[in-house]
A and B are shown apart, each in its own frame.
Chain A
Amino acid sequence: MAAAIEITDLHKTYNGGWSPALDGLSVQVQEGQIMGLLGPNGAGKSTTINILCGLVTPDKGNAKIFGKDCIADTLALRQMIGVVPQQIAMFSNLTAWENFRYIGKLYGLSDKQTKDRTHDLLLRLGLDKHADKRINRYSGGMKRRANIIASLLHQPSLIILDEPTAGVDVQSRAMILNFLKEYNQQGKTIVYTSHLMEEAELICDEVVIIDEGKFVVRGAPKELINNTTDCKRLEDVFLHYTGHSVRD
């Protein structure tokens, strides 16, 4: 299987930062995988995602998506990746449909393409009856689902989700996770960050644990649980490798 993402020796220290956000991180994600990128606060997950999206330039090292450099080929890459940011990146005073129509236009989609794709995604994520409501009148879970739809309109081959289920209820979470599994079955690669280990255990083919900007361990959730002493859940593995000290 070809590599969808190749991260090699990434270094990044922000201006004024007292320690590196990334300190020689190297990771590979295979095409068609659901990869969980896990780590405590400040581990470097968001920085890694921002570098992959071309929003942050690394100090050293390189990152490639489908063989294209994330910095040099940013614009071409953005057409191939769908990023679901942690925040609800939508126009809150527009309805969901108005948001999707606008985003579709910006991606260069025709009205018909946008309409068909939006209709399908709204149905699959249970928002079909709420398309004409303004985003600021949506519940937290609805906003999260709309946020995912907005990132998938251009049918990207790789989807990067930054804590897509943060702050949502159990039902919305289940719907989102099921949707991601289905979407992955269409051959799409998914990179997913979360602090919820049971979620990662449930949907990820593999997880990578990083801490303090460095690679820590990688493997299938069950494999990691079995191979780590006294661990019954992925959360135990996570704590085993990253420790119990609270991160700021």
Chain B
Amino acid sequence: MNKILATIQKEWILLRRDVAGFMLLFLMPAVLIVVMAMVQDAPFKDYQELRFDLLLADNDHGRLAQEIRQGLKQSKNFHVVDSIDGKPLSEEHLQKLLKGGEYRVGIVIPKGATAEVINAANTVANRISEKIGMGKLPAREMRDSMYVRMYFDPVSKPTFRMSISFALDKYITYSCSNVLVGRLSKLGMAEAGETLDTAQTDDFKKIFQGIGIKEEALGDKGNISQFISSVQHNVPAWAIFGMFFIVIPIAGNMLREREERSSLRIQLIPFAHNYVALGKIFFYTLICTAQFAVMCAIGLWVLPQLGLPALYMGLHPFVLVPIAICIALSATAYGYLVGVVFKTATQATPFGAISVVIMSAMGGIWVPVDLLPGVMQQLAKVSPLHWGLDAINHIILRNGNIKDVLPHLAVLLSFSSVLLLISLYANRRMTHSVQ
């Protein structure tokens, strides 16, 4: 144990003396996290949290238009623009503005849309009343050419178009239902020689709604729920990425020791090599874990200062400690292997850096794994970064506990052990056949 502690102490002295290297170990991932969280903030909002201008040309001026407008205005996502310079927006003007690229979406409510909805409601009500022998409301033939038209800026993503379409559909359906309920009520009351007050109409609407929807948190997690956001994704993702970049200092440190021949001294001391290897692994694991803690601190206290939400750590934040240690161990073992296998910094540095970038892309650091194609989702399981990130997501997104992440920890520990054993074996072979 003394030998391992002596190695940790020696590595600490060396790192402390390399002030620039020491700072970079923490500074670069910190900058990366801040930049990535800010850059990806908008894409991560994915039109759900984003508020944007929506052009509305109202040629109807009726109840349907009013209810669509009201629905859009109540939504947090839309800012309805229905007039420019005090003039109501026309369809032509709306199209012109969209072509200019200043706006993303425009909606045109055609003239007579409300009349069409009422006519449809009357027709349905009449058909029902025919069956039960009630009165009749005025209705004409249905038109099938009446649409609420949507126009999109061509750069809009399909998901965006779909979300607008769903929102509009919801408002129109809601409006139609209300009209139908109103018409049916009117028929019934007329038959009974009564009139409906507003409270009664609302009551009817409520009854007609049947069953509503309500989102709730999973399991024992109370009412706290967390959506994936730029901060919730980027802080752990780039923290893991930064931790794996420890491969560069570890491999560099080992190659430097080989070049200055201090590694030969270690080889000449009986049994020293294994203790030195473990000492290095423990030391850099501590550094990586400290990196993770600093990155979480940035998510908690720095990002909110930049207008981003604070990192939510889940209901069992202390489970992040063993997760961070296991990720750190994997990163360090990988760095150690690179340091053993490669003979020069020219080989080790690009390989180490690029392989970490590849593993991070595969592991869902850049883009969440759920958004990757099926094959890539399977391939992600090869990357230790994926297991690390998924374990953290269990804690900070799904409010999981230690039991939820045990399989992840097992995978990360297995990965570390295998790499370490390979490194020790490779090192033994290579040092035993010098020259």
A positions within 8 Å CB-CB of B = 14, 46-47, 50, 53-57, 74-76, 78-79, 83, 85, 87-94, 98, 101-103, 105-108, 150-151
Chain A, Cβ-Cβ closest to B271:
A75
Any A CB within 8 A of the CB of B198: no
Partner of A83, one of B13, B14, B268: B268
How many A-B pairs with Cβ below 8 Å? 83
Known: A56-B433, A85-B264, A89-B264. A98 touches B269 (CB 8 A): no
Q: Is A90 a contact of B265 with CB atoms below 8 Å?
A: yes
Cβ < 8 Å to A, chain B residues 256-299: 257, 260-262, 264-272, 275-276
Residues on A with C-beta less than 8 A from B257 are 91
**Chain A CB within 8 A of B148 CB:** no
- Give me 7 A-to-B residue pairs in the complex whose CB atoms sit less than 8 angstroms apart, sorted by A's number: A55-B434, A78-B268, A78-B270, A85-B264, A87-B260, A101-B6, A108-B2
Q: Are A79 and B268 in contact (CB under 8 A)?
A: no
Given A75-B271, A90-B260: 13 more A-B contacts, CB < 8 Å = A55-B268, A56-B434, A75-B270, A87-B261, A88-B261, A89-B261, A94-B13, A98-B10, A103-B269, A106-B3, A106-B6, A106-B269, A107-B269
Q: Are B261 and A105 in contact (CB under 8 A)?
A: no
Contact, CB under 8 Å: A91 / B10 = yes
Instruction: Please state if A50 and B275 are interface contacts (CB–CB under 8 Å).
Output: no
Interface presence of B145 (CB below 8 A): no
Q: Are A14 and B269 in contact (CB under 8 A)?
A: no
**Which residue of chain B is the closest to A79 with respect to CB atoms?**
B270
Query: Is the beta-carbon distance between A106 and B276 smaller than 8 angstroms?
Result: yes
Q: Which of A14, A57, A107 contacts B432 (CB 8 A)?
A: A57
A106 contact set on B, CB distance < 8 A: 3, 6, 266, 269, 272, 275-276
Out of A47, A75, A91, A105, which one reaches B260, CB within 8 Å? Answer: A91
Q: Are A105 and B6 in contact (CB-based, < 8 A)?
A: yes
> Chain B at the A interface: mostly helix, strand, loop or mixed?
helix
Interface residues on chain B, size class: 20 to 34
Nearest-neighbour CB distance to chain B for A90, whole angstroms, equals: 6
Are A89 and B262 touching (Cβ within 8 A)? Answer: yes
- In the assembled complex, B431 has its CB within 8 A of some CB on chain A: yes
Asked if B131 CB lies within 8 Å of chain A CBs, one says no
Given contacts A75-B271, A78-B270, A106-B276, contact A89 B435 (CB under 8 A): no
Residues of B within 8 A of A105 (CB): 2-3, 6
- B143 sits at the interface (CB 8 A): no
Residues of B within 8 A of A (CB): 2-3, 6-7, 9-10, 13-14, 17-18, 257, 260-262, 264-272, 275-276, 431-435
Nearest-CB distance from A66 to chain B (Å)? Answer: 15
Q: How far is the CB of B260 from chain A (nearest CB, A)?
A: 5
Chain A residue numbers with a CB within 8 Å of B265 are 85, 89-90, 103, 150
- Tell me the minimal C-beta distance from B28 to chain A in angstroms: 22
Looking at the assembled complex, report how far the CB atom of B180 sits from the nearest CB atom of chain A, in whole angstroms.
82
10 smallest A-B Cβ distances: which pairs? Answer: A105-B6, A89-B265, A87-B261, A78-B270, A89-B261, A106-B272, A75-B270, A89-B264, A91-B262, A106-B269
Knowing A89-B264, A89-B265, A105-B2, say if A50 contacts B270 (CB, 8 Å).
no
- How many angstroms between the C-alpha atoms of A85 and B265 in the bound complex? 8
Q: How far is the CB of A83 from chain B (nearest CB, A)?
A: 5
Query: Whole-angstrom distance between the alpha carbons of A228 and B67 in the complex?
Result: 118
Q: How far is the CB of B54 from chain A (nearest CB, A)?
A: 62
Q: State in angstroms the CA–CA spacing of A92 and B258 once bound together.
A: 12
Distance (whole angstroms) from the CB of B310 to the closest CB of chain A: 40
CB contacts (< 8 Å) of A47 on chain B: these are 435
CB neighbours (8 Å) of A90 from chain B are: 260, 262, 265
Contacts of A75 in B (CB 8 A): 270-271
B269-A87 in contact (CB<8A): no
Q: Which residues of A contact B17 (CB under 8 A)?
A: 93
Complex interface: chain A residues within 8 A of B7 (CB): 102
Q: Are A92 and B262 closer than 8 Å at their CB atoms?
A: yes
A106 to B433, CA, bound (A): 23
